Chain A
Amino acid sequence: MKKAINRTHIEQLKPMREPLSLQDAIKESNRCLLCYDAPCSEACPAGTDPAKFIRQLKFYNFKGAARTIRKNNILGSICAFICPVEKLCEQKCSVVALEDPINIIGLQRFAVEYGKDFGLEPFQKKLKNKGKVAVIGAGPAGMSCAAELAKKNYDVTIFEKESSCGGVPELMIPDFRLPREAIDYDIKNLLDLGVEIKYNSKAGSHGEVKNFLSDGYKAVFIGTGLSEPYKLPLFNRYSNATDYISFLKSIKKNREKVNLKGKNVAIIGGGSVAIDSAVSAAVLGAKKVYLIALEHLDELPADKEEINLAHTLNIIFKAGSQVTEVIAKENQITGLKGKEIDWIEPNKFIPANAKQIDGTDFSLNVDFVIQAIGTKPGEEVKKFAHGLKTNEKGIIAVNDNYETNIPGVFAGGDVVNGGATVVQAVGDGKKAAESIDRDARTCVFTRIKMLINKRRK
């Protein structure tokens, strides 16, 4: 059993895993079997290629390892802290047939930090001779797409509505999971490639997406993510109910301003952001923190390591439960009533599939509610792109090449996949960049062909 952490000391909250020392890294990389056609690399949506950087570490090619990560994943430093590896590369690790999987995320972090500490040469600014591309959104997908295109000699400008670069990891992931320096390192790499970022630039301030194309941009990539949190109508009237985006953002901006001392906080939801919110509430001095999720404890979508961290902070899990009633005084929530649930059909974790169990009523004294039940694309996307094909939730439809129904307009990341991992968004951005490049080349090719044909005539 892990020792309980004193909640009042946020400094004690370390990122998920301890950093590896040189000795640890050598030992760990030597456990790697250096598989043929390595399944870990296969499992990385961003193509970070852990098999290669671990091999490089094993053969003392430390800077080479740092280069591999940076080259393959522009968010390599961020991913080294927050990637849910236990569901990706580490799950596929061949060593699990014999012993614990390789601590891949630990090695990634070691390699990135080695590169930082031992002066890995910065990216060279690339020539910008292949035309302009606009990227909407400086989150993981946008950063990744921009980096790839810059490497391919495109002149890339990112239009970002916030005043900072990094998207969800930068705006919402708490410091104890993702230190500021880790984010800055990836941003620096992006800027070194010559990518330009225009901040405070609302998507659509340029007008319609088609305006970009007529303004000489060869392509547009939409990586606006999901910015609109779902909220339960149940909590609409109350001033002490918020959503995880507002909550986590406000802590990132100014932790001192958020006072939860002595309060009982309830988080609704069971994903990573719910756990982040719960852990943050605990760290900010909440008396009791409840996590109310429809999913049962073993069904929670959050990572095991995150859940363990929540356990060490004595967060009370009301997993497999549903809020049935809000107790309030005027516009202030004072308590929640709920019931345990069962699933009507197995493996379908949606509210419509939940059946409340009689006689399992519980009631909690609650002063603050944080809803962490998912997000959808912001309204601005629709305004910005008329005629863009989306589903009813606003998720943009793309083909296999990440191209939308509007020729020349591509999209990737959460706004396309409906909310997945950072590493998935990085992968989307990379693949979209390849499509954009392919597209641009075909255009040129077609034009040349047309010219030739004309001359022949």
Chain B
Amino acid sequence: MTTKADLSIDFCGIKFENPFCLSSSPVGNHAEMCSRAYDAGWGGIVYKTLGLEKSFKIVMPSPRLSVYNYGDKRFVGLQNAEQITDRPIKDNIRDIAFLKKNYPNKVLISSIMGYSDDDWAELAKMSEDAGADMLELNFSCPQMARKDAGHRIGQDFESVSHFTEVVKIACGLPVMAKMTPNITDMIPVALAAKQGGADAISAINTIKAITDIDIENFTPLPNIHGFSAATGFSGPSAKPVAMRFVSDLYNSKELGLPISAIGGIETWRDALHFLLLGGTNLQVTTGILRYGYRIIEDMIEGLSDFMIDRNIKSLDEIIGKAAEKIIDPSEFTTRYQVVSVIDEEKCIGCGQCYISCHDGANQAIKFDSEKRKASVDEEKCVGCLLCKHVCPVWDCISYKEVDAKVTKHAAVF
């Protein structure tokens, strides 16, 4: 039998067998789906956001999705116009109760969205009664058909603080507030949630975006009967933005709340990135939409192997380790200079590095058309590494440190 590392986490006093959860979305739409996710190995589920029909009737737009493609690579990002659950509240509550009864060791987080104090309180109480372990307050859905819901609340500090407080009073469960990235600085909103009593922050919800346009009829996609909207964008290409916000939250000294990180996780390496930037808990949707629940196997096995290889006993040892190294660009040292190094053996002579350096950098690469080999002019190279990034051979171009006293074109202020 393979040795497995201990992937368990303690998040807001709740034990998760592993940090991987479904995020609140169609992947956790009902009991049957959630059962299969648990069976596949997911540590927890953030159930699809509940709302009260009496406050608002949910009608899903159709079509609902569009993708961002790059070259021949499809689905590098996903745009959705999904709403919160359109199932009756009583069905969802029954499902949550069923899941908690049948999977007592798995974690179930109920995501809720209200429109009034009463709504929030009622949804919180119902979830608690059904057996949910925790609540996630959806302050961040970017495409609610109702204008006073979703991320518009998430941009309003007072509402965030107020509704969090309402929920905390209504029930005894730990509460995390889900943040919208459609804001310049997430910290004030997170602090507002903290002020209201939030126990944790989850981030990010999707980024308002437009992914594609049908150039036949000049209509952005998804084309919902002739119209479209900027709606939630997620997946691999949203990950860099998510990583930035997660590290911001982690590095905020004032906040000091645990983080459930979300944004483009598909592999254990993505997961590790978020752990290193300060996420304790991790949530996934787009990866599952694309590949199914089964991706959990590779995330668990890969992360476990990494921990064993590096002799890491608990994820606590690594959480935030990379976030600590994030500084303000104004603090960069100018006493460090590298230049590119091209491995002539590995160079296949395509000359992409030459073109990019010539037209986009410092004209520091020479190309021998006879031998079809590229080489670096160290006098001119400023070590930007554009060449390394365009090279089709992954390990052909590296870099080395050179005497930084010979200042090149580096920024010196």
Contacts and interface: CB of A to CB of B under 8 A. Distances in A.
Contact of A98 (B352, B367, B372, B392): B392
A30 B72 CA distance: 6
A94 interface: yes
B355 A94 contact: no
A234 interface: no
A35 B71 contact: no
A64 to B, nearest CB: 17
A157 B349 CA distance: 44
A34 interface: yes
B71 A36 contact: no
B308 interface: no
A369 B236 CA distance: 64
A36 B393 contact: no
Interface string A13-30: 000000000000011001
B348 interface: yes
A256 B42 CA distance: 68
Contacts of A37: 351, 367, 369
Interface in B346-369: 348-352, 354-355, 367, 369
A231 B82 CA distance: 76
A62 to B, nearest CB: 13
A97 B354 contact: no
A287 B73 CA distance: 49
Nearest to B367: A36
Contacts of B71: 26, 30, 58
Interface string B354-396: 1100000000000101001000000000000000000011000
A33 B72 contact: no
Contacts of A378: none
A376 to B, nearest CB: 38
Nearest to A34: B352
A39 interface: yes
A35 B72 contact: no
Interface string A240-256: 00000000000000000
Contacts of B367: 36-37
Contact of B393 (A26, A30, A98): A98
A36 B349 CA distance: 8
B237 to A, nearest CB: 17
Given A94-B348, A98-B348, A98-B393, A36 B72 contact: no
Contacts of B72: 26-27, 30-31
A36 to B, nearest CB: 3
Contacts of A26: 71-72
Interface of A, secondary structure class, is helix
A36 B392 contact: no
Contacts of A33: 348, 350, 352, 392
A97 B394 CA distance: 13
A39 B393 CA distance: 18
Interface in B61-79: 71-73
Contacts of A34: 350, 352, 355
Interface residues of B, number: 15
Contacts of A98: 348, 392-393
Contact of B350 (A27, A30, A35): A35
Nearest to B70: A30
A127 B391 CA distance: 47
B348 A36 contact: no
A26 B351 CA distance: 22
Nearest to B393: A98
A30 B367 CA distance: 23
* Residue of A27, A35, A36, A94 most packed against chain B (CB within 10 A): A36
Interface string A93-125: 010011000000000000000000000000000
Contacts of B355: 34, 36
Contacts of B351: 35-37
A58 B71 CA distance: 7
Contacts of B393: 97-98
A31 B372 CA distance: 19
Nearest to A97: B348
B69 to A, nearest CB: 9
Contact of A94 (B73, B349, B354, B369): B349
Contacts of B354: 36
B369 A35 contact: no
A98 to B, nearest CB: 7
Contacts of A39: 349, 372
A36 B373 CA distance: 11
A194 B311 CA distance: 78
B73 to A, nearest CB: 8
A246 B393 CA distance: 52
A26 B348 CA distance: 23
A410 to B, nearest CB: 30
Interface in B313-356: 348-352, 354-355
Contacts of B349: 35, 39, 94, 97
13 contacts: A26-B71, A33-B348, A33-B350, A34-B352, A35-B351, A35-B352, A37-B367, A39-B349, A94-B348, A94-B350, A94-B372, A97-B393, A98-B393
Interface of B: 71-73, 348-352, 354-355, 367, 369, 372, 392-393
Given A33-B392, A34-B355, A94-B372, 14 more contacts: A27-B72, A30-B71, A31-B72, A33-B352, A34-B352, A35-B351, A36-B354, A58-B71, A94-B348, A97-B348, A97-B393, A98-B348, A98-B392, A98-B393
